[in-house]
Amino acid sequence: MNYEINSRNKVLRAKERGVYDKESVYKILDAGKICHVGITMEGQPFVIPMSYARIDNSIILHGALNSRLCSSLREGIPACVTVTHLDGLVLARSTFHHSMNYRSVVAFGTAREIDDKQKKLEAAEALVEFLTPGRTTDCRAPNKKELNATSMIEFTIEQASAKVRTGGPIDLEKDLDLDVWAGVVPIKEQFGEWIAADDLKSEIDYPDYKNLY
Amino acid sequence: MNYEINSRNKVLRAKERGVYDKESVYKILDAGKICHVGITMEGQPFVIPMSYARIDNSIILHGALNSRLCSSLREGIPACVTVTHLDGLVLARSTFHHSMNYRSVVAFGTAREIDDKQKKLEAAEALVEFLTPGRTTDCRAPNKKELNATSMIEFTIEQASAKVRTGGPIDLEKDLDLDVWAGVVPIKEQFGEWIAADDLKSEIDYPDYKNLY
């Protein structure tokens, strides 16, 4: 199903790279770990990196109860949430045709605070599960004090667009004969060896979900 | 040297992680490949991923001459440019104390179009050199038509803050005895094997700067 397309989310540059269906948007969101949240306060835009989780058509965010960002978001001001994956550097034969391979989602909507206690708990767990599936079966659940200190925010996606570039450089015909290497430098996210906490009890083994990394 | 600190760039949450000196800010910017640019149009914030280059205290951006973002930026509206590196997932013994290791810069300023032809050329080359040092000695320089089709934007950093988290989880004393693994899942950017363009002449070898990746 597609998001409604209008001037807010229509991809104007490299139009052929724009997609508007929820499935494509969700796939890019689900592959991410941080988003960049944009809000405007007194005419000044702020772009803040945040962890997130997707639940259905919503993006869950969180922060300290009295943080500026959360205070603003829960007033229901217009916001923009962007997630970007850089997949490669595209080296063309000319400076001008250099590019990048990427997948990105720009989502527009408004946010509201999650007040319901059960939903708030589910949001807190979703934030951890989104990054580390299985983790919340192991670790201690949030207590009342912790939940009270946290603002859980639900950003509902009203409109979104995804933009994707893949493949090699697109050079001018007349440049193909130049003696310069052209192609793609692939980039991917790599997980390193897990580093145990200094105070980890020695008998504790890695969890099963380690094999996901 | 520090940026001036006021309500716009003061780190309010986890204050001890906030730094304001140019050296730290530049180091984080120089390690990045894409930034997220925030502008506001008719009350709606937009957060757009863009490639960039740092030259001194400026961030160079570019786009098609008639793109919405470039048109807005060159009017000199307030903007925010954010660069984030995700360095690891921090797995704590409790849901609440999960965190991330990261380095981020949030920069505030205004942008202006680069009109001077020589400076525009230098900006175009800086965008490529920033990602692939040495590349512009190999590839064809932009011609007049290409430069005319492109808007080169100089965003001057008026204020900025950097925020950095490193290290393991910080758990509550009472949780240290829980039987759950705790520590850090490191994340880093990994370059893959270079993929030659389909139409690359067979006799062309990799460039010297390949060893930087």
Q: Among residues 104-143 of chain B, which lie with CB inside 8 Å of chain A?
A: 104, 106, 108, 124-125, 127-128, 131-132, 135-136, 138-143
**Distance of alpha carbon B21 from alpha carbon A116, whole angstroms:** 42
Nearest to B140 among A45, A47, A94 (CB): A94
pLDDT mean over A34-61:
96
pLDDT above 90 for B122: yes
Mean pLDDT of chain A: 94
B207: chain A residues, CB-CB within 8 Å: 180-181
Q: What would the pLDDT profile of A145-178 be if each residue is shown by its tens digit?
A: 999 999 999 999 999 999 999 999 999 999 999 9
Q: What pLDDT was estimated at residue B65?
A: 82
Query: A90: which strand partners?
Result: A99, A184
Q: Do A128 and B95 touch (CB under 8 A)?
A: yes
Q: What would the pLDDT profile of A72-114 be if each residue is shown by its tens digit?
A: 888 888 999 999 999 999 999 999 999 999 999 999 999 999 9
Q: Do B46 and A80 touch (CB under 8 A)?
A: yes
Question: Using alpha carbons only, what angle is made at residue A129 by residues A144 and A104, rounded to the nearest 5 degrees?
Answer: 120
Q: What pLDDT was estimated at residue B138?
A: 93
**Distance of alpha carbon A177 from alpha carbon A181, whole angstroms:** 11
pLDDT mean over A179-205:
96
pLDDT above 90 for A132: yes
Give one DSSP letter per residue of B34-101, joined into a string.
EEEEEEEETTEEEEEEEE-EEETTEEEEEEETT-HHHHHHTTT-EEEEEEEEEEEEEE-SBGGG-EEE
Question: Which pair of structure tokens corresponds to residue A48?
Answer: 């803040």
H helix or E strand, kind and range, residue B125: helix B117-131
Q: Do A187 and B192 touch (CB under 8 A)?
A: yes
pLDDT band at A55 (very low <50, low <70, confident <90, very high): very high
Structural domains in chain B, CATH included, are 15-205 (2.30.110.10)
For residue B103, give the nearest of B172, B189, B2 by alpha carbon: B189
pLDDT band at B15 (very low <50, low <70, confident <90, very high): confident
Q: What would the pLDDT profile of B137-166 be if each residue is shown by its tens digit?
A: 999 999 999 999 999 999 999 999 999 999
pLDDT above 90 for B204: yes
pLDDT band at B114 (very low <50, low <70, confident <90, very high): very high
Q: What would the pLDDT profile of B181-203 be if each residue is shown by its tens digit?
A: 999 999 999 999 999 999 999 99
pLDDT mean over B13-17:
81
- Helices and strands (H and E) in chain A: how many: 4, 10
ipTM of the complex: 0.96
**Distance of alpha carbon B60 from alpha carbon B51, whole angstroms:** 9
B48: chain A residues, CB-CB within 8 Å: 82, 106
pLDDT above 90 for A129: yes
- Give yes or no for A195 touching B (CB within 8 A): yes
**Distance of alpha carbon A155 from alpha carbon A26, whole angstroms:** 14
